[in-house]
Structure 1
Amino acid sequence: MVREAKEGDLILLLDKRGKRFLIRLTSGKRFESHYGIIPHNDLIGQPLGREVQTHLGRKFLVLEPSTLDLIQATPRITQIIYPKDAGYILLRLNLMPGKRVVEAGTGSGALTLVFARAVMPTGRVYSYEIRPEMLRLARHTLERAGVLDYVELKERDIAEGFDEKDADALFLDLRTPWEYLSQAREALKPGGFFGALVPTTNQVVNLLEGLSEHGFVDVEVEELLLRPYKVVAERLRPDDRMVAHTGYLIFARKGEGADLKAWFSFRRGRAWKYKADDEDEG
């Protein structure tokens, strides 16, 4: 079935230089730029993936925006989680429809948006932010993406604790996440997934010490580097620039029991080792 643009849809206009515009289709309105004008009515009811022109002859592709597009369009009043990190965070926190995830450090709402798209329609995101101006910006980000109904925004200093209990996952995007590990444990279910992002190694060290003291297990520290390539078949090679260090990712699980030190980490010079249920122990 051909996907057609409907009134109220958020769509992406992509020009031949790679410039991207996000617009909400509204009958009677127009997309206007120095490239020309495209009436919204010329897009509503028409298939996505096609080429259109402004009144000045500038060509655009009409596409459905990806989560990546929505993140890249988020106003960067504060440092946002980069897309290369956001997708991996979803995997490590085991997020899927129906899950309940707590986030502290809402910021512009970019990662909140990613979480909401992962857990909707039956899951929930609980996002805490101490700055009211950032919550207003995040609310706008989530409204534009159409995911606000799956998020609860809370203006709160998390030193007071989280309202949630037995959450499936929790992520801290804060300067000093090690100061809030007691609160994180209280909010997570046994074995729940914990994650954090910090920009410097001394912060990683402080967090590792705190995770050990607070009974977290299966701890990992990782960094992702993204290298794009020039899309020219005759001379395929890496692009001149790459997205290198954006932060250190720390992941762990909430342990239960008296002595958990032996379970702190298995990453000591070797990769994971899995054993199938039917594989012999010998």
Structure 2
Amino acid sequence: MSETIREGDPILLCLPEGGSYLLRAEERVFHTHRDRVPLSGFIGKPYGSRVIGPNGTPFYALRPTIHDYLMKVRRATQIIYPKDIGLILLKLDVGPGKVVLECGTGSGALTTALAHAVGPEGRVISYEREERFRELARENLRRAGLAERVLLKGEATEGFEEKEAVDAVFLDVREPWELLPAAWRALKGGAPLGVLVPTVNQVSRLLAALEDHPFVGLEVQEILQRFYKVNPERLRPEDRMVAHTGYLIFARKVLER
């Protein structure tokens, strides 16, 4: 049975041509380039319901998915995109009850995905040196209803406080090789490490540094994503694609080399 939308509930407001807005069902009118819609018109209706604007435009209220929250985070930094996040979650074996350490919170897109994946019994520990980014990440996490699963900390000036206590570590910082000893100490034996860097120079330096530390199973990957025009009569790729966003490096901790 479909869930009824209550006042204050999150909704993904969708237009027929595909535009969407992450909002809440409340007593106000929302304006778009096509028409306007009273958001209160969805209250008491099930998700998936339609409200017609004064100009005849149909608006649909959907339940937001975690992907919607990721793509619509309020951002002050470049974010890690879903095309990379999916592999990160799998390679780091992030799941219910896990404890995951992240360094480089930024706007909190990956943080949000990690918090969603670990469930109410898990925990995400996220280090970020910029207070303004930590506050923005808190706002995005609260918006997704996941703030209570995340512990935000400041700069890891002397490494991480956690010692052999986390199930996975992910680094999204400019010089990740400097944090390899701290990451190794934080990880449980055999646990995975993930890193994202934007340039091949950083990949080369990181790989050289990993050879000097007790990590095995090194991998370097890059994921490209291409969308298609949704016209069944003239199916073809979109003119633009999500190409390079970053290089992903994965490794596993061992106790000795």
Q: TM-score range by the shorter chain?
A: over 0.9
Q: Which moved more, 1:106-115 or 1:207-216?
A: 207-216
Establish whether residue 169 from structure 1 lines up as the match of residue 168 from structure 2: yes
Mapped pair 1:159 → 2:157: yes
Report the RMSD for the aligned CA atoms in angstroms. 1.5
Instruction: Specify the SS of the correspondent of 1:246.
Output: coil
Contact 2:219 2:250 in 1 (8 A): yes
> Quick check: 219-228 or 34-43, which moved more?
34-43
Q: Counterparts of 1:196-275 in structure 2 under 5 Å?
A: 196-257=195-256, 260=257
Aligned equivalents of 1:94, 1:30: Cα separation in 2:
43
- Residues 1-282 of structure 1 mapped to structure 2, 5 A cutoff: 1-26=1-26, 28-33=27-32, 35-155=34-154, 157-165=155-163, 166-257=165-256, 260=257
Following TM superposition, by how much is the alpha carbon of 1:54 offset from its aligned partner in structure 2, in angstroms? Answer: 2.3
Q: Distance in 2 between matches of 1:29 and 1:173?
A: 39
TM-score by length of 1: 0.86
Aligned partner of residue 22 in structure 1, secondary structure: strand
- The residue number in structure 2 matching 1:267 is none
2:129 partner amino acid: I
Residue 87 of structure 2 aligns to a residue whose secondary structure is helix
Shift >6 Å, 4+ stretches: none
Q: Distance in 1 between matches of 2:248 and 2:52?
A: 43
Cα distance in structure 2, aligned partners of 1:34 and 1:227: 27
Structure 1 residues 38 and 152: alpha-carbon distance in aligned structure 2, compared to 1, 3 A threshold: same
List alignment gaps of at least 5 residues for structure 2. none
TM-score where L is the length of structure 2: 0.94
The CA deviation at 1:33 is: 4.2
Aligned residues between the structures: 256
8 Å contact kept, 1:98–1:119: yes
CA contact (8 A) 2:42 2:49 kept: no
- Does the Cα contact within 8 Å between 1:104 and 1:171 map onto a contact in 2? yes
Query: Structure 2 CA distance, aligned partners of 1:36 and 1:227?
Result: 31
Shift of 1:63: 0.7
Q: Which SS does the other structure have where 1:252 is aligned?
A: strand
Secondary structure, counterpart of 1:238 in structure 2: coil
Distance 1:234 1:18 in 2: 18
Please give the per-residue CA displacement for 1:45-96, whole angstroms capped at 9, x wherever unaligned: 2111122122333221211112221111112311100111011110111001
Match of 1:230, SS state, is: coil
After superposition, the C-alpha distances for 1:100-157 in whole angstroms (9 at most, x for unaligned) are 00000000011100100100111000111000111111111101111001001112x2
CA contact (8 A) 1:196 1:250 kept: yes
2:2 partner letter: V
Structure of greater Rg: 1
